[in-house]
């Protein structure tokens, strides 16, 4: 293993509009000991041609990882990269990379410095995760919000393993993980909602650290897989007026998905011989009558009050 090598896990799919900008920002990093592992999900645009041009420049530093079953979506595309990095056994850490963002020059260096701090004397034997804030920008990189966390009304620095069961506050494109976390996270269960959320949950059995400064320009455009949505009251009311039944259906669907994902985490922790008491507590609480959950929902659900209350009213087992 290389002492400072970081694997950049880049998942692509029809990303030709912004991919070159992202690759250039990776090449401009102050920490230059990295490889770029790319898994494509079946692009039909110029994505593969762009990757081949950069591969000619970078040689072995850009690895095109075969995707055995393209078309299964972003979660399985990233899982393919996670498996490749872990099985290869060269890099001690991996950072997750979307195809349409722009990294600030200190992104890898800052994440690695914090990773080394939280790994401490354990030498990477404990699952560790580092993530950061982002600057939200439009297609032309004009700033929409200097802080994604504030824009989303989140506080990632204070979220807990318990609160992460309901609300993901780990943004995947900012995330660095160590090999111990990859080992515990893989394979991704069928119940996983998003790969970054699952990694955040796994970090509950180890260490997680949030860097409050933005390390990425998080580009918003029409084809974002997730994106940053304005969570202000006026915007939410407009969504309810425009598509109230659809909003309710999506909230209920997410509630069921979070319950199943928490159940998958419980099984993973048991298989590892780790304490999953807080997960069992959460799953039990989710099955209580509504009146009982209304008394204590603020303990389990974080974020704006409207979000917390709607989860309590609409989420069941």
Could you give the dihedral angle defined by the CA atoms of residues 153, 108, 117 and 162, in that order, rounded to the nearest 10 degrees?
30
User: Distance from CA of residue 253 to its chain's centroid?
Assistant: 20
The predicted-structure confidence for 85-144, as pLDDT tens digits, reads as follows: 999 999 999 999 999 999 999 999 999 999 999 999 888 899 999 999 999 999 999 999
Task: Evaluate whether 149 touches 225 at the Cβ level (below 8 Å).
Answer: no
Q: Measuring CA to CA, which residue among 58, 204, 32 is closest to residue 112?
A: 32
- Give the pLDDT confidence score for residue 124 in this predicted structure: 86
All domains of the chain in start order, with CATH: 6-219 (3.90.550.10), 233-314 (no CATH)
The predicted-structure confidence for 147-184, as pLDDT tens digits, reads as follows: 999 998 899 999 999 999 999 999 999 999 999 999 99
- Give the pLDDT confidence score for residue 225 in this predicted structure: 45
For residue 1, pLDDT beyond 70:
no
Tokens of 57: 């420049």
């Amino acid at each position: 293993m290389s002492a400072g090598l970081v694997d950049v896990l880049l998942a692509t799919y029809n990303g030709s509009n912004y991919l070159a900008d992202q690759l250039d920002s990776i090449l401009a990093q102050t920490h230059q000991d990295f490889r770029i592992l790319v898994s494509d999900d079946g692009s039909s645009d110029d994505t593969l041609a762009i990757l081949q041009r950069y591969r000619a420049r970078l040689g072995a530093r850009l690895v095109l990882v075969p995707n055995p079953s393209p078309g299964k979506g972003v979660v399985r595309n990233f899982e393919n990269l996670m498996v490749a990095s872990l099985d290869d056994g060269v890099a001690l850490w991996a950072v997750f990379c979307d195809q349409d963002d722009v990294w600030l020059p200190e992104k890898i260096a800052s994440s690695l410095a914090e990773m080394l701090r939280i790994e401490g004397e354990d030498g990477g034997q404990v699952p560790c995760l580092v993530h950061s804030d982002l600057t939200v920008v439009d297609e032309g990189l004009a700033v929409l919000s200097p802080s994604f966390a504030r824009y989303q009304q989140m506080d990632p620095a204070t979220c807990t393993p318990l609160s992460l069961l309901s609300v993901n506050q780990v943004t995947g494109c900012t995330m660095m993980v160590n090999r111990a976390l990859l080992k515990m996270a893989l394979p991704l269960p069928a119940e996983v909602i998003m790969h970054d959320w699952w990694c955040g949950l796994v970090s509950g059995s180890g260490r997680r650290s949030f860097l409050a400064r933005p390390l990425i320009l998080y580009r918003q455009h029409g084809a974002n897989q997730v994106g940053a949505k304005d969570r202000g009251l006026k915007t939410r009311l407009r969504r309810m007026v425009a598509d109230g039944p659809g909003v309710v259906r999506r909230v209920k669907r997410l509630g069921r998905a979070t319950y199943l994902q928490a159940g998958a985490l419980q099984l993973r922790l048991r298989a590892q011989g780790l304490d999953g008491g807080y997960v069992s507590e959460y799953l039990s609480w989710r099955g209580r009558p509504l009146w009982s959950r209304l008394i204590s929902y603020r303990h389990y659900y974080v974020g704006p009050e409207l979000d917390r209350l709607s989860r309590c009213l609409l989420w069941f087992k």
